[in-house]
Structure 1
Amino acid sequence: MLVLLPPSETKAPGGDGPPLDLDHFSTPELNPVRRKLADALVELAADLPAGLRALGLSARQEDEVTRNGTLWSAATLPALERYTGVLYDALDIGGFSKAQLAKAEQRLAVASALFGIARGSDRIPAYRLSGGNTLPSIGSLRALWRPALEPVLATSDELIVDLRSGAYAALARVEHAVTVRVVTRGGRTVSHHNKAYKGKLAAALAKNSREPSTVEGLLGVASRAGIRLVRSGENELDLVIEN
């Protein structure tokens, strides 16, 4: 099973690992695009005004651009420790046992504008790049990623659970993925607490002793975790919360 998580704009600072080494990444076939984007961000960091414009940042966020300039030399953390925010707070990796963490590192992956997908154990530096950004030397990230990322995901024989948000789902279509929508009991789409509920579902899927391989298996894992997950289509699930 592969659970695709959305990334977050906020990242934990620092790290205790060696500098970025793409040769140790999962899905090495994505490395040419990863390397191209990392080099482009480093180059862009040398022109602060251009960097702010391209990344959609304000002058108060200059440090985000400057930090991109150290992508190849900065310390790293496992991807599941690097991303922060509502979803990752709900996921609560820090509360996992050693055995649960080992499962999570294999089952969970972050959909990333820079790395395409980063498995939980892939070590990454802090960076700033969003799915909707357009880089001067590259152009649209969607046009860059789709030809590389879609074949990788399309040929995966794992059950893929797609929890990505819109901008990251646009980087690669996954026709056979199981998608999850967070809704109220009345069927209204939830936006404010969407990420927290997806984080709780991801935690349940990561910790489960057995790895589900079917939609029915997903429903069973959710039910045992106290999460109301119902089928709304062949490969579409609704995570239902109280109004």
Structure 2
Amino acid sequence: MRIMKRKYMIFVLLGVLGVFSACQKENIAAYSDAERINVDLRQMNLTKDTIEVSLGFYEGDVMDIDMKLYVMGYPKDYDREVAIEVVSSNNAEAGKTYELPEKIIMPANDIRCTIPLKVLRDPDLMKAAKSFRINLKSSDDFEVGLYPTLYISVTDDVPTVWIGDENWMKDGSFYLSIEDCFGKCSRVKYKFVYEVLGIYDFSVWNVWGFMYDKAKFVPAKKLLKKELEKWEAVNGPMMDENNERVTFPD
């Protein structure tokens, strides 16, 4: 008899839970907040809202950046306009330091779009770096989301410090810096690294956003050592701007 009562109580409890669950599902509301526009950092392979442009690595006078946007909300059956403002520092100027389209449209039936941003080789960059910030703004179509900003820093030089590990944990053992892998930076060395690897901002070579990714840096170092050996077999020792030989750690 006790066993029967226990079974009965279990069935009743399961029934109550089932009804409660069904009610909960019926009460789940659809997304009802304002449509919010964001910079899509993930689609841009960014771990922070900053891009450091070093035109010293490039031969041309224009660098194209696709600024990706997404809407937290639903697509509409009509075009929607995205409002932005540009805040300049160090005399960055539209048409001289950068170019942006006059109108930015989120196409009908879509929640993603791209702003074609052009960074220009401003002659004044030889004197000093320039920077500007693109802010998404509220409009008739959108409110501002959680990621409303993209900051662009521009130089016309090759840096003398590695770019990308500024926010990583570094203690020289488990947590490593770019310098631990590639050694001391110099302009000549950095340019060689870029020519071989095709990358100068290593912020995307991370684990969880704050750690050196061994799976990328270790094979990269092996490739750099191999390519340097080939280069020196033809040209002799590679010397940097400080008259120090370019090497990579073992």
Q: How high is the TM-score relative to the length of structure 2?
A: 0.29
Q: How high is the TM-score relative to the length of structure 1?
A: 0.29
- Bigger fraction of residues in helix: 1
- Bigger fraction of residues in strand: 2
**Which structure is richer in relative contact order (CA contacts within 8 A, separation 6 or more)?**
1
Instruction: State the structure with more CA Rg.
Output: 2
